[in-house]
Amino acid sequence: MRKKVLVVEDEKIDAVRVAKVIREEFPDVGIEVVTNGEQALDWVHRFRPLGGESVVLVLMDLTIPRMSGLDLISEFKANPFLKAAPIVILSGSDNPEAIKSAYASGACGYLIKQGATPDMQVLLKRTFDYWLHANLLPAS
């Protein structure tokens, strides 16, 4: 089965950093990167698993252009091919209300962006390791 991660991130430096961690730590995992809500919504509507492909993780910023991240979570949960994919928020906000709203909308995790620090690299590696290997998702 081909594992795939979708990254929804409008900040280019953050998208590059996330993709780099995935490529270095999990070279057999495919990566899709979209930079705004409109592209993400289009991707959600077009996605059909091919040849055993599955989306094993969605890493998404909440504040993206052209659509609310919270609304986008609802779109993922409504798609029969993506509803079981865990969504982890990567946000610069540590606002308790934003965190609460993300979880209430269906997010499975919430990471606070820490820039290009070694701690952020470790946090991303641990997150990917958990969602790509340690955690077993229910069958769709």
Task: Say how far apart CA 16 and CA 105 lie, in whole Å.
Answer: 26
Looking at the chain, the whole-number percentage of residues with pLDDT higher than 70 is 92
87 with 120: CB under 8 angstroms? no
31 beta partners: 5
pLDDT, residue 107, reads 94
**30 DSSP β-pair partners:** 4
For tokens 């996605």, the residue is 47
User: Minimal CA–CA distance to 74: which of 98, 50, 44, 51?
Assistant: 44
Task: Decide: helix, strand or coil at residue 17.
Answer: helix
pLDDT in the model for residue 98: 92
Contacts of 21 (CB under 8 A, 6+ apart): 121, 124, 125, 128
Q: What structural domains and CATH numbers belong to the chain?
A: 3-133 (3.40.50.2300)
pTM of the model: 0.86
pLDDT tens-digit series, residues 4-55: 899 999 888 888 888 888 888 888 888 999 999 899 989 888 888 877 788 8
pLDDT of 77 higher than 50: yes
User: Of how many residues is the chain composed?
Assistant: 140
Where would I find the H helices in the chain? 12-25, 37-46, 69-78, 96-105, 118-129
pLDDT in the model for residue 46:
86
Q: What is the mean pLDDT of the chain?
A: 85
Structure tokens at 28: 């057999």
SS3 7: strand
